[in-house]
Amino acid sequence: MTNHQSQRAIKAFEDFVSTPLETRLQRHLDTSSQSAVLTLFEDVAANVPAYKAFLAEQEIDPRAIQTFEDFQKLPAIAKENYILRYPLPDLCRYGQLQTCDIIAASSGSTGKPTFWPRFFTDELQIATRFEQIFHDSFFADTRSTLAVICFTLGTWVGGMFTTNCCRYLASKGYPITVITPGNNKEEILRVVRELGSNFEQVVLLGYPPFLKDVIDTGIARGVDWQQYQIKLVMAGEVFSEEWRSLVGERIGAKNPCYDFASLYGTADAGVLGNETPLSICIRRFLAEHPDAAKALFGESRLPTLIQYDPINRFFEVQDGTLLFSGDNGIPLVRYNILDTGGIVSYDAMLQFLAEWGFDPREKLVQTRLMSQRVAGVPPVVATGVASLQTQDSLRGIHSLPFVYVFGRSNFTVSYFGANIYPENVTVGLEQPIIQEWVTGKFVLQVKEDTDKNRFLSVIVELAPGVEESEDKQQAIAASIFSQLLRLNSEFANYVPPEYQTPQVTLAATGDPEYFPVGVKHRYTRR
* CA 301-303-309 angle, 5° bins: 160
| φ, ψ for residue 141, nearest 5 deg | -75, -20
At 93 the three-state DSSP class reads: helix
Q: How far apart are CA 487 and CA 490, in angstroms?
A: 9
Give me the residue spans of the domains in the chain. 25-109, 413-507
pLDDT digits (tens, 9 = 90+) for 216-273: 889 999 999 999 999 999 987 778 898 899 899 999 998 999 999 999 988 888 999 9
At 266 the three-state DSSP class reads: strand
Beta bridge partners of 233: 205, 261
- Of the pLDDT bands very low, low, confident and very high (cuts 50, 70, 90), residue 371 is low
pLDDT digits (tens, 9 = 90+) for 380-405: 434 444 444 444 557 889 999 999 99
Query: What amino acid is encoded at 282 in this protein?
Result: I
Q: How far apart are CA 34 and CA 68, in angstroms?
A: 6
For residue 229, how many other CB atoms are within 10 A of its CB?
20
The pTM score is: 0.81
Q: Residue 409: its pLDDT value, please?
A: 53
Q: Which of 362-371, 399-408, 414-423 has the highest mean pLDDT?
A: 399-408
Nearest to 466 by CA among 413, 508, 416, 424: 508
Residue-by-residue DSSP string for 40-75: HHHHHHHH-HHHHHHHHHTT--GGG--SHHHHTTSP
413-507 under CATH 3.30.300.30, yes or no = yes
Q: How far is CA 40 from CA 52, 56, 69, 269, in A?
A: 14, 18, 15, 14
